[in-house]
Amino acid sequence: MHSVKDTLSIGERVFNFFNVLFFFLFMFLCAYPFYYIFINTISDNQLSAMGEVLFIPKDIHFQNYKQILEIPNITNAFIISVARTVIGTTLTVLCSGFLGFMMTQQKMTGRKFVYRFIISTMYVSAGTIPVYMLFNYLGLLDNFLVYVIPGMVSAYNIVLVKTYIESSIPSSLQESAEMDGAGIITMFFKIALPLMVPILATLAIFSAVGQWNSFMDTVIYVTREDLHTLQYVLYRYLTQSTALANEINSGNISIDQVAATAQTAQSVKLTVTMMVVLPIFAIYPFFQRFFVKGITIGAVKG
């Protein structure tokens, strides 16, 4: 019995070989930058600064990570970042999912007007100063809620959910539930929500990455140190390290005076990068199987 491989022509085998080779190269190009950053964070900082660490770490140490973990207020900042990511992502998924579901309800009064109004917010923005004044009026300045409330509803997310429901969930399910006496809340949580897992997982990835990486809202709206996020604390540390490196390079400070910091002034940028992206790397594999399905369903009709 001949295998599929034996039936392939020479041309098909050559094509498959170069096809696999191309995707291996593509995978390498995607993965190498993160690998490069990691090996430079655990290698001798002097060798790293001279560009001698390319594929294999040299003189391995973990002093860079130890220094970052010793930054004052780093533990509290980590808790704040985790809290805003978990709470903000949960509220974003629920609110965007429910509003997207409501935009598919033909019986909803003023549905088209509300939907068009939501879409218009994608193109019209008041600007930073009016938003700051609004947050001040609402009491959101120096308040943890400033991290989660503004991102609860997103026009783009609502469009994704609405398109997904219209293309993937039969209207007959809702009609059957209505005949059995189910209300809007019941239909959403017991019928629509379980069938919306792929698109909701996609929204969760978008929201979690945005919440975790955000620090400008801390810069603009928060002055209390106990509400500073991990990214903001690392940003300040990065700025201070860069300034110190400039002082060393200009000769105003000797390397002997700040040996440990001088050695990590450049590599701290890479260490900060790894500290920020590692949590996202940790959770992404759990959502990956939903991501492609959620973002492509509804793209093709028929």
Q: How confident is the model at residue 3 (pLDDT cuts 50, 70, 90)?
A: low
Q: How confident is the model at residue 15 (pLDDT cuts 50, 70, 90)?
A: confident
In tens, the pLDDT along 206-222 reads 888 888 888 888 888 98
CA–CA dist 96, 159 (Å, integer): 9
Over residues 174-197, the mean pLDDT reads 80
CA–CA dist 2, 51 (Å, integer): 52
DSSP state of 152: S
Which residue carries 């801390």 as its tokens? 218
Q: How confident is the model at residue 35 (pLDDT cuts 50, 70, 90)?
A: confident
Confidence check: pLDDT of 75 > 90: no
pTM above 0.95, yes or no: no
Task: List b or e across 46-72, with b for residues whose CB sees 16 or more CB atoms inside 10 angstroms.
Answer: eebbeeebeeebeeeeebbeebbeeee
Structure tokens at 185: 């809340």
| Identity of the amino acid at 216 | M
Confidence check: pLDDT of 262 > 50: no
Distances (CA, A) of 125 to 99, 131, 136, 224: 21, 9, 18, 27
In tens, the pLDDT along 105-133 reads 888 888 888 888 888 888 887 778 888 89
Q: Are 114 and 225 in contact (CB under 8 A)?
A: no
Which of 168, 146, 279 minimizes the C-alpha distance to 215?
146
CA–CA dist 169, 160 (Å, integer): 13
CA–CA dist 223, 143 (Å, integer): 10
Name, in order, each residue with C-beta under 8 angstroms of 272's C-beta and a sequence gap of 6 or more.
68, 234, 235, 237, 238
What is the model's pLDDT at position 243?
62
In tens, the pLDDT along 157-184 reads 888 888 888 888 777 777 777 777 777 8
CA–CA dist 187, 221 (Å, integer): 38
CA–CA dist 52, 49 (Å, integer): 8
Q: Are 266 and 45 in contact (CB under 8 A)?
A: yes
For the chain, what percent of residues have pLDDT higher than 70?
82
Which of 268, 265, 151 minimizes the C-alpha distance to 212?
151
